[in-house]
């Protein structure tokens, strides 16, 4: 990976971390990418981060940490899997994520904290690119990319995740089982296996739009609430999914033998956002006790 593709991208090591990352973040937010040459998902995430750093035109800087060369620095931040990305602003860690997110989710992550500065790209193109990518669109895109490239196995993991988000659990499991050994233990792959049980419940069920229409027509359509919760959890809005099950826990606790409680407990095991899980565990407990 070449950190010289943009003036807004730089390599980070122990010598310049204090000045370029911590002190530098007092003026401009710094996105720090922990990666390694041997890491398959890093090879798909890195170019996307570099593209966005150039596109944002200085609204943030991208610092790249090769964990093999900077093991002590990675240890300071408790990096357990790569890629891991953290956002540093005003000298403090503001946010972060682990795993190779698709471009749509990366844009959503950045939009919570920074806005692009005016550059040479067309505003209309940027607005089009910031639209969230649906699971179905991701499946089509990834299938095309896989057909065009035989040396990027990390795309198969992205495809497995997109298939699960679209409710195609069997297809997702088939892609997951076909991953090479180094990707089978990737954090996202391990998490996906625990999500597949939830995804299987979506096979043959209505789309998100149909479920939303059913709830609008009948706010007590608990089956629609339940299935929409799964779709949102496995999609891009897990908090909204959890809200459906909390509503069910409050209004229809005994529906389908306590389905809402079962869904919440299963969801907590699939999420890697400790703050989100803790918040919703407390809300669940307040309803139960």
167 vs 135: CA distance, rounded Å = 9
**Residue 196 CB neighbour total at 10 angstroms:** 18
**Residue 33 CB neighbour total at 10 angstroms:** 24
Q: Which two tokens stand for residue 98?
A: 């682990």
168 vs 203: CA distance, rounded Å = 6
pLDDT tens string, the chain, 289 residues long: the values are 444 456 889 999 988 998 999 999 999 999 999 999 998 889 889 999 998 998 888 899 999 999 999 988 888 888 888 899 999 988 888 888 888 888 888 888 888 888 776 554 444 444 444 456 777 888 888 888 888 776 777 888 889 888 877 878 888 889 989 888 888 888 788 778 878 888 888 888 999 999 999 999 999 999 999 999 999 998 878 999 999 999 999 999 999 999 999 999 989 888 878 889 899 999 999 999 7
122 is a catalytic site residue? no
List 12, 21, 32, 42, catalytic entry: 42
pTM: 0.46
List 9, 12, 32, 39, catalytic entry: 39
The phi, psi pair for 171, rounded to 5°, reads: -65, -40
Could you give the 3-state DSSP secondary structure of residue 109? helix
273 vs 277: CA distance, rounded Å = 6
Q: Which two tokens stand for residue 195?
A: 């999500």
Q: What would the 3-class secondary structure string for 176-239 be?
A: HHCCCHHHHCCHHHHHHHHHHHHHHCCCCCCCHHHHHHHHHHCCCCHHHHHHHHHHHHHCCCHH
Q: Which two tokens stand for residue 132?
A: 């969230």
How many helices (H) and strands (E) the chain has is answered by 14, 5
Could you give the 3-state DSSP secondary structure of residue 37? coil
Residue 54 has, within 13 A of its CA and on its CB side, a CA count of: 11
Domain with CATH 3.40.30.10 in the chain: 9-129
42 is a catalytic site residue? yes
Q: Which CATH architecture has domain 208-288?
A: Alpha Horseshoe (1.25)
Domain with CATH 1.25.40 in the chain: 208-288
176 vs 171: CA distance, rounded Å = 9
Q: Which CATH architecture has domain 9-129?
A: 3-Layer(aba) Sandwich (3.40)
| Closest-CA residue to 211 (of 198, 230, 234, 239) | 230
């Amino acid at each position: 990976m070449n950190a010289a593709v943009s003036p807004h991208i730089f390599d980070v090591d122990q010598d310049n971390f204090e000045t370029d990352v911590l002190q530098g973040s007092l003026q401009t937010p710094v996105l720090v990418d922990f990666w390694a040459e041997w890491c398959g998902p890093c090879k798909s995430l890195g170019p996307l981060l570099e593209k966005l750093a150039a596109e944002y035109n200085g609204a943030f800087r991208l610092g790249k940490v090769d964990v093999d060369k900077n093991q002590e620095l990675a240890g300071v931040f408790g990096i357990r899997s790569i890629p891991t990305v953290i956002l540093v602003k005003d000298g403090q860690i503001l946010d972060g994520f682990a795993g190779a997110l698709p471009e749509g989710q990366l844009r959503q992550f950045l939009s919570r904290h920074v806005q692009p500065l005016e550059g040479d790209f067309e505003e209309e193109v940027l607005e089009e690119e910031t639209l969230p990518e649906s699971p179905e669109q991701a499946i089509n895109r990834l299938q095309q990319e896989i057909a065009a490239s035989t040396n990027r196995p990390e795309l198969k993991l992205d495809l497995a995740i997109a298939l699960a988000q679209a409710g195609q659990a069997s297809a997702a499991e088939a892609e997951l089982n076909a991953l090479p050994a180094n990707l089978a233990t990737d954090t996202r792959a391990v998490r996906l296996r625990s999500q597949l049980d939830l995804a299987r419940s979506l096979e043959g069920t209505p789309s998100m739009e149909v479920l939303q229409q059913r709830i609008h027509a009948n706010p007590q359509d608990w089956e629609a609430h339940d299935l929409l919760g799964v779709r949102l959890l496995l999609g891009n809005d897990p908090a909204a999914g959890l809200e459906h099950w909390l509503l069910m826990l409050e209004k229809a606790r005994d529906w389908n033998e306590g389905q809402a409680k079962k869904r919440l407990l299963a969801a907590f095991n699939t999420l890697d956002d400790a703050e989100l899980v803790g918040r919703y565990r407390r809300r669940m407990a307040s309803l139960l006790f």
